[in-house]
Structure 1
Amino acid sequence: MAIYLAGSLAKGNDDNYSDIDLHTIVISERKAEFLKGKRNRANNWGNVTFHEDYNPSSPYVVTHYNTFVKVDSWYHAPEEIVPSIWLKEVEVIYDPFNIMSHVIKESAKLVYKPSPDEVEHWRGKLLAFVHETYRAVMRREMLYALSNLDRIRWLIVSGWYMEMEEHVDVPYGVWTKIEGNRSKLDGKQLSLLESWDCGRNSYEIIKTLRRMIPEFIRLNKYLCTQVGVETNEDHIKRIMDMVI
């Protein structure tokens, strides 16, 4: 019924290694049938190296080809396509029934602003990863500590995007488009990210964590003020003092 592209290709900031985010809208009654044939369909588009997903009922399949092309093929019923921040920048390839025009028009009107719930969730997750990093270091679980530290780093980036009132156009914890030519971060922010790199030495991990805290404190104060949430600065300081 309709086909559209999302992601880098639709936005015009693609490179030779960008995913192809292909979305197909199918008749509701035939969606299950399309999902069953999603891998076979993708096999017709080139020489397949492998598929990531083997669940026949999931709404997508990720296919890797022998040219390093990767296609994320999504299938939707018409009623699932509603105005969304995620549909602000898409490229419609085929739409004979005019399914997409209203959705795209309404999506273009949407302006992202962080909500109080979103800011509180962001703060809670970041504090949790701070304590998990400390626990992992105390247990000598260095890979786990580094994984948690990476989540803190990513959540601070997420905070920067909220500060800019920009929607993070990547899944949670994923680093694509955060650095490089497609980054929306400024030079100072990118320099901070680079300075927060560290190895698996326990002292270095805690030292890096300590260097990240001031930016979290600043973001917490700014974002909470913007959305009308208590900053809880004294409480947060006590939480941080437990680990650093």
Structure 2
Amino acid sequence: METAVQFFSRDPAVIGIFLGGSLAAGSADAFSDIDLRVVVQPDRHASYVDRRREIPKAWPGFLFNEWVPGAQHCVSHFRPFGKIDIFYYSAATLTPSPWYRLPIRIFLDPQGVVADLVEQAKGLPFTVDPDDVDFSISKGLAAAHETYRRAMRGELFFAQTLLDEMRQHIMQADDWLNDRTPESAAVAKFEHRASREVNAVLLASYRQCGADEILAALRLLVPFYRQQVMALHEKFRLPRPVANDLEALDIISFETASDRN
């Protein structure tokens, strides 16, 4: 972190450097990553985005990058297990957001740009976009169906990864249904903030890599996810037909029960 801050501070085009995530929140441990944000003058922003993969390579201990094409950030890994996630923001496009209500540590802010964002963010609520819920349900249902299909085809490793994807949507639904915001996630890992029932069903769903074991895990998760889907429909008044979603899960329950018999 010190290396990165010193590097960016030398460039007058960088007018803001601040830290987010668990380090800023005071909940970090030895394996936490570094969430660094760099605010750049508009005329130099594209240059930094273009060089986002090259800049960390010159820093001591560099191992490898991971990135998304077209994105404005890069995640860099350092030996032995260091990890820094750097987002590059253009000063021209910065707008107030509830995300700036989360704990922030400012390293550089000569023009008060970051401090102004933090001030304007006060009182802005985190809201859940129904489209995000809609998308999550579709992905959760797809993961459940694909788990069944792949297990029946004997593609067991693939089926296990799909079960994990379904678990992710169960975890997300639990946060939404209990009105947990990113502020909750910043200070408490899911295992510590989750509903007791969710923790129990997730723990019980981990099985050996065999078709019968995977189908048994699916039988355990599907009825629980069905309850969550019904609750999500009721809470967010989703336009998608609830009957279709429930039928998609009931089909799996019926088929896995038939396979067991």
**Structure 2 CA distance for partners of 1:80 and 1:230, relative to 1, 3 Å:** closer
| AA aligned opposite 1:61 | C
For the 8 Å contact 1:196–1:212, the answer to whether it is kept is yes
For the 8 Å contact 1:116–1:224, the answer to whether it is kept is no
Q: Secondary structure at the match of 1:109?
A: coil
In structure 2, what is the Cα distance between the partners aligned to 1:31 and 1:235?
A: 46
Q: Partner of 1:208 in structure 2?
A: 217
In structure 2, what is the Cα distance between the partners aligned to 1:181 and 1:206?
A: 25
Match of 1:30 among 39, 44, 58: 44
For the 8 Å contact 1:178–1:184, the answer to whether it is kept is no
Q: Secondary structure at the match of 1:22?
A: strand
Q: Partner of 2:11 in structure 1?
A: none
1:203-242 matches, cutoff 5 A: 203-229=212-238, 234-242=243-251
**Structure 2 CA distance for partners of 1:235 and 1:81, relative to 1, 3 Å:** same
For the 8 Å contact 1:178–1:185, the answer to whether it is kept is no
Question: Are residue 191 (structure 1) and residue 205 (structure 2) matched?
Answer: no
1:78, CA displacement in angstroms?
0.9
For the 8 Å contact 1:112–1:165, the answer to whether it is kept is no
1:164-175 matches, cutoff 5 A: 164-167=178-181
The two structures have a TM-score, normalised by structure 2, of 0.78
Q: Secondary structure at the match of 1:117?
A: helix
For the 8 Å contact 1:25–1:77, the answer to whether it is kept is yes
For the 8 Å contact 1:22–1:72, the answer to whether it is kept is yes
Question: Are residue 119 (structure 1) and residue 133 (structure 2) matched?
Answer: yes
For the 8 Å contact 1:177–1:183, the answer to whether it is kept is no
Q: Report the more deviating stretch, 13-22 or 223-232.
A: 223-232
Q: Partner of 1:173 in structure 2?
A: none
For the 8 Å contact 2:98–2:126, the answer to whether it is kept is yes
For the 8 Å contact 1:225–1:231, the answer to whether it is kept is no
Q: Report the more deviating stretch, 19-28 or 77-86.
A: 77-86
**1:53-79 CA distances to partner (integer Å, 9 max, x unpaired)?**
497x75223222224211112211013
**Structure 2 CA distance for partners of 1:242 and 1:214, relative to 1, 3 Å:** closer
Q: Partner of 1:172 in structure 2?
A: none
In structure 1, what is the Cα distance between the partners aligned to 2:191 and 2:29?
A: 10
Percent of aligned positions with the same letter in both sequences? 25
- For structure 1, the residue ranges without an aligned partner over 5 or more in a row are 170-175
Q: Partner of 1:68 in structure 2?
A: 81
Match of 2:92 among 75, 79, 84: 79
| AA aligned opposite 2:145 | H
Q: Partner of 2:72 in structure 1?
A: 59
Q: Report the more deviating stretch, 117-126 or 232-241.
A: 232-241
Q: Partner of 1:94 in structure 2?
A: 108
Q: Partner of 2:117 in structure 1?
A: 103
In structure 2, what is the Cα distance between the partners aligned to 1:32 and 1:236?
A: 43
**1:6-39 CA distances to partner (integer Å, 9 max, x unpaired)?**
1111121111111111111111111233234445
**1:145-195 CA distances to partner (integer Å, 9 max, x unpaired)?**
1111111111000000101222358xxxxxx98995874224443222211
- For structure 2, the residue ranges without an aligned partner over 5 or more in a row are 1-14, 254-261
| AA aligned opposite 1:87 | Y
Q: Report the more deviating stretch, 147-156 or 100-109.
A: 100-109
**Structure 2 CA distance for partners of 1:178 and 1:236, relative to 1, 3 Å:** farther
For the 8 Å contact 1:220–1:231, the answer to whether it is kept is no
**Structure 2 CA distance for partners of 1:177 and 1:129, relative to 1, 3 Å:** farther
The two structures have a TM-score, normalised by structure 1, of 0.83
Q: Partner of 1:138 in structure 2?
A: 152
